[in-house]
Structure 1
Amino acid sequence: MHLLHFLLALVVIFGLAVVVSYERKQIRLRYIVQLLVIEIAIAWLLLNSQAGLSIVKSFAGLFDELMGFAAQGTDFVFGNMSKQGLAFVFLNVLCPIIFISMLIGILQHFRILPWLIRIIGTLLSKVNGMGKLESFNAVSSLLLGQSENFIAYKGILGQQSPRRMYTMAATAMSTVSMSIVGAYMSMIQPRYVVVAIILNMFSTFVILSLINPYRPGDEPEIELQELHEKQSFFEMLGDYVLAGFRVAMIVAAMLIGFIALIAALNALFSAVLGLSFQQLLGYVFYPLAWVIGIPSVDALHAGSIMATKLVSNEFVAMLELQKITAQFTPRGLGILSVFLVSFANFASIGIVAGAIKGVSEPQGNVVARFGFRLVYGATLVSLLSAAVVGLVL
């Protein structure tokens, strides 16, 4: 039954991708099938095998330890407010981003991250048919984050074609930053965060192979720029601490704004239509929720949260999910959780385009023109990863 549902999901997702494809004649099915097989195998391994569950548990345990260290710094500054249950989101979800950002800076400073990007990116390029530049970018987006990622390509970014810029921007929007993974794990089950991070890398190239197929041809020389090569260790620490703080404050501001806006829209729609804004979105997204394998009993609530993520961001959606987690079946909760772990929302258009514009203004303008297509493609990536999890759960 799950297999038939998964095949239906593939037909719908692939159909939605092909509709907006730049060049359908260049679609190479071999790479799509290859990526799907690998993705399904990884999902089954991580969620059903003892070895995979141990890997997921270890990874989640590592972040649990890191969150504990971060809590010590937070408690020192805010006087154990978190232990009293005060300002939970700010203290337990947002403040740890500062510590995780600092750790990423340390790994970058000692050249560990560039090494990981090259190794994993090279392996990924062997199976996705997209070339090393695109593969490196997928890995560096995950490790460095949306904002800093494109600095690593500042030497060659201006030379890239619009089609390749779409691919690079789409991979940045379809993944998440390691600096906020701990925050996600405090709101949804850690194992689904780990699975989503890995599956999204493969789902991204599946969808891009349909929407934006091309043959890389002769690639420019790949040189990842060192982000802090002229800084001392403590200068770098200060920069990453402040970078983490800025991310936390930006997320806090977005949460305040979007949650207030959704509350106002709920009140307005309830007064006019008798249905809240989120209930209405739930009906709109119900078919997609059901198609990716979420049980009918959960699909309406899931559709509402999926739409909330698209129009606001994943943090708002995860907080909404926390309120009604008990109402979901384990299967529905797992599939929905995987869908939520990505930057696929309208706010990300400005973030990605702005980050690229900071390195190359013309290329930033090119990416900004892709806005809707970027969100559309990144949402299909989330749907595919969720559908794969629906197959193996």
Structure 2
Amino acid sequence: MAALHNFQGLIGIAAILLLAWGLSENRSARPGWLWIGGALLAQIAVALVVTRVPLVWTLVGFANKGVAAIETATLAGSSYMFGYTGGAPIPFLLKPGEQPPVIVAFQILPLIIVFSAISALLWHWRVLSMIVRGLSWILRRSLGVSGVVGLAGGATIFLGVVESPLVLRAWFARMSRSELFTVMVLIMSTISGAILVLYATTLSKTVPNAVGHMIVASLISLPAAVLVARLMVPGEAASGTGHAEPELHYESSMDAVIRGTMEGVTLVLAVIGIIITVFALVNLVDQVLAFLPVVEGAPITLRRAFGWLLSPAMWAIGVPWDQAPAAGSLMGTKAILNEYVAYLDLAGLPAGTLDPRSLLIVTYALCGVANLASVGLIVSTVATLSPERRPEVAGLGMKSWLAGNMVSMMTGAVIGLVTWS
């Protein structure tokens, strides 16, 4: 039984691929079996190499130390600006056993601002742009994608929902429908560097080496996103780009720092606004659901409803059935509301709710920005950059949301396959 449990995720992977093909705009034009097998193999290979080769995982682990250094540096700035609410020593005595308060807006969210500025500076110095070009080359050589899709895949690892399209602005008018959808799914299926730091810091006490795991999750999601996108919207490349160069430029190092900081501030304000709104909406829905009869000794809540609805899906990707309701609740929260809220809920779960393997599967399955708010962001951004594609991108918005969640769940299933228990 234990051996069968280790391969449970194959059920989820098969179901996701069948669903993607079933929702295809042209089922007869699906990619060849050899290409599909290669894309699946690429996901498993990345997961195996990174998690099972000690040297590679050690190198990835340096990212955790880097984030810890950035966190320490950020607290120096936030404590100066916000005092003890930003991390400075508290000016009063705590009760015995009481911990200092952690105020998310003043101690954790400033990480986004600092990392956004550092990312812009590294882009201007061509460090990140060289890494993006390298990832683009790997995707083009391994999966045969066009230059613009390869560039999108590399950029989404570091840039967010709004910033990634800016790198591709020159090609939106020339992309085929298939390329456009693939770019949208790539954006939906990964998380940017600044958001990665925020989420990993939130999970640092729950998931060891959270930064490394989230980097791996985005890498596994790249071939998965291309695979699911090609099954749902098949087609040939039409942009004519065997190689594409990023369009993002800064005038100087100081310009990069200033613009990166301002982009980070905008993102922090957006995160604060979304979190406040999401928690308020959840509370309103729960107040309405409170009028329904009590089930199993507890009132029905939105999170419980998500758990019931998505339990079979989470079981299929490798989570044991007794833990599937908790995992389904988190996945529903991520898909409908926001992945940061889901990670906050994950960090707040009682000890023992998820076993270590299930915790890892869920962490990977939540690692993507495919939520309803992101649909509006990506549609409005691409439509602004290429007004002539507005009707088309609007029509693909919800489809990219569904595909993005399918991809992140497939990524969770893959990490479950290589994590034996």
Question: Shorter chain as normaliser: what TM range?
Answer: over 0.9
> How much has 1:82 moved relative to structure 2?
4.0
- 1:246 aligned partner: 266
Output the aligned Cα RMSD: 1.9
In structure 1, how many angstroms separate the alpha carbons of the residues matched to 2:343 and 2:239?
A: 42
Superposed CA deviations along residues 343-376 of structure 1, whole A, max 9, x for unmatched, are: 1111111111122123112224421211221111
**Counterparts in 2 of 1:362 and 1:285: CA distance versus 1, 3 Å:** same
Displacement of 1:113: 2.7
- Tell me which moved more, 165-174 or 213-222: 213-222
1-structure distance, mates of 2:17, 2:144: 18
Residues 11, 201 of structure 1: alpha-carbon distance in 2 compared, 3 angstrom cutoff: same
Residue 37 of structure 2, aligned match among 29, 33, 36:
33
**3-state SS of the aligned residue for 2:25?**
coil
Distance (whole Å) between structure 1 residues aligned to residue 125 and residue 364 of structure 2: 32
Superposition deviation, residue 222 in structure 1: 4.7
Provide the residue aligned with 1:361 in structure 2.
Answer: 387
On the 8 A contact 1:2/1:390 being kept in 2, the answer is: no
**Other-structure match for 2:215:** 194
**1:165-314 correspondence runs (5 A):** 165-188=180-203, 189=207, 190=210, 191-216=212-237, 219-220=240-241, 222-229=243-250, 231-274=251-294, 275-314=300-339
Max radius of gyration: which structure?
Answer: 2
Aligned to 1:347: 373
Question: Shift in Å at residue 3 of structure 1?
Answer: 5.2
Letter aligned with residue 307 of structure 1 = G
Structure 1 209/221 Cα, relative in aligned 2: closer, same or farther at 3 Å? closer
SS in 2 for 1:81: helix
Equivalent AA in structure 2 for residue 43 of structure 1: A
1:57 to 61, 75, 84: 61
Q: For 1:32 and 1:319, how far apart are their aligned partners in 2?
A: 35
Deviations 1:262-295 (A, max 9, x none): 1221222122243112111110000001000011
2: distance between equivalents of 1:198 and 1:305?
22
Which deviates more, 154-163 or 330-339? 154-163
1:127 aligned partner, one-letter code: S
| Aligned position for 1:156 | 171
Identify which range, 253-262 or 41-50, moves more after superposition. Answer: 41-50
With over 3 angstroms needed to count, the CA separation of the structure-2 counterparts of 1:303 and 1:48, relative to structure 1, is same
CA distance in 2, matches of 1:370, 1:268: 32
User: Following the alignment from structure 1 to structure 2, what is the Cα–Cα distance between the partners of residues 200 and 221?
Assistant: 22
Secondary structure of the residue aligned to 2:290 is helix
* Alignment partners' CA distance in 1, 2:370 and 2:24: 19
Q: Where does residue 48 of structure 2 map in the other structure?
A: 44
Q: Distance in 2 between matches of 1:118 and 1:289?
A: 35
Q: Give the counterpart letter for 1:300 in structure 2.
A: P
Q: Helix, strand or coil: the match of 1:272?
A: coil
Q: Distance in 2 between matches of 1:381 and 1:159?
A: 26
Structure 1 runs, 4 residues or longer, greater than 4 Å off? none
Letter in structure 2 aligned against 1:105: A
The offset of 1:226, in angstroms, is 4.1
2:49 is aligned with 1:24: no
Aligned residues: 392
Q: Which moved further from structure 2: 215-224 or 364-373?
A: 215-224
Whole-angstrom CA distance in 2 between matches of 1:52 and 1:114: 22
Contact 2:318 2:413 in 1 (8 A): yes
CA distance in 1, matches of 2:135, 2:329: 36
Q: What is the TM-score when the length of structure 1 is the normalising length?
A: 0.94
- Structure 2's unaligned 5+ residue stretches are 91-99, 295-299
Unpaired runs of at least 5, structure 1: none
What is the TM-score with the length of structure 2 in the denominator?
0.88
Task: Give SS of 1:176's match.
Answer: coil
Change (3 A) 1:50 1:11: same
1:46, 1:55 within 8 Å by CA — same for their partners in 2?
Answer: no
Distance 2:391 2:157 in 1: 23
Structure-2 separation of matches of 1:56 and 1:221: 30
- Match in the other structure for 1:375: 401
1:67-82 mapped onto 2 (5 Å cutoff): 67-82=71-86
AA of the residue aligned to 2:78: T
Deviation at 1:89, TM superposition (A): 1.7
User: Conserved in 1, the CA contact under 8 Å of 2:311 and 2:327?
Assistant: yes
Q: Quick one: distance in 1 between partners of 2:411 and 2:393?
A: 24
